[in-house]
């Protein structure tokens, strides 16, 4: 049985036993043992889920490490390529070479799209040339709400999560 089925059967069994007690009936030992077995099955299933999640977490940590390693290698290769391209451009400019004809790897100098170079801080530019991003200050909002201040459109939510280990 899966976790949902065990949980559902345990709930149904508990309801049946509750109804029996409300009606003045005494549940049989078998009915009580069935509920206890379901609770034990649920306990075991939850532990197995926890073990599985712990194992997955180890795999995730290993993958995170591998991603960091490969990302660093990718950055190094990109930096090397940019350095080599910069050296090629400098050499071609110094020697007034516009292109190198080759049937497999033709190389040529090309004008880039014009880009903006600022000699001042962006906050000193006229307002029409500035972008402003408005973000909620969640830490300040949480503190204010905890202090009893009412803020329209904001409230504190207390969620639950599973902690394993």
Give a yes or no: residue 63 inside a domain.
Answer: yes
**So what's the pLDDT on residue 108?**
96
**So what's the pLDDT on residue 148?**
95
- Work out the burial of residue 151: count CB atoms within 10 Å of its CB; fewer than 13 is exposed, 13-18 middle, 19 or more buried: exposed
3-state secondary structure (DSSP) of residue 115: coil
Give a yes or no: residue 120 inside a domain.
Answer: no
Give a yes or no: residue 160 inside a domain.
Answer: no
Structural domain span for residue 98: 3-112+127-146
Question: Considering its fold, how many domains does the chain have in total?
Answer: 1
Give a yes or no: residue 155 inside a domain.
Answer: no
Paired with 108 in beta bridges are 99
Give a yes or no: residue 61 inside a domain.
Answer: yes
Tens of pLDDT along 129-153?
999 889 999 999 999 999 999 999 9
Low-confidence ranges of the chain (pLDDT < 70): none
**So what's the pLDDT on residue 12?**
83
Give a yes or no: residue 121 inside a domain.
Answer: no
As a three-state string, the secondary structure of 67-103 is HHHHHHHHHHHHHHHHHHHHHHHHHHHHCCCCEECCC
Task: Record the tokens describing residue 39, joined without a space.
Answer: 């609770």
**So what's the pLDDT on residue 21?**
80
Give a yes or no: residue 34 inside a domain.
Answer: yes
Return d(Cα 34, Cα 42) in angstroms, integer.
12
Give a yes or no: residue 117 inside a domain.
Answer: no
**Is the pTM here over 0.85, yes or no?**
no
């Amino acid at each position: 049985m899966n976790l949902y089925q065990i949980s559902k059967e345990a709930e149904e069994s508990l309801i049946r036993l509750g109804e029996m007690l409300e009606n003045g009936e005494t549940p049989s030992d078998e009915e009580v043992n069935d509920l206890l077995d379901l609770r034990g099955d649920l306990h075991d299933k939850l532990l197995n889920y926890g073990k599985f999640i712990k194992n997955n977490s180890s795999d995730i940590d290993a993958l995170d490490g591998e991603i960091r390693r490969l990302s660093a290698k990718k950055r190094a290769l990109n930096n090397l390529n940019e350095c080599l391209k910069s050296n090629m451009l400098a050499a071609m400019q110094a020697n007034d070479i516009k292109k190198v004809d080759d049937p497999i790897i033709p190389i040529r100098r090309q004008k880039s799209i014009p880009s903006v170079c600022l000699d001042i801080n962006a906050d000193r530019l006229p307002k029409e040339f500035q972008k402003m991003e408005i973000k909620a200050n969640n830490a300040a909002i949480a503190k204010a709400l905890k202090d009893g201040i009412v803020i329209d459109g904001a409230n504190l939510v207390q969620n639950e999560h599973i902690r394993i280990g």
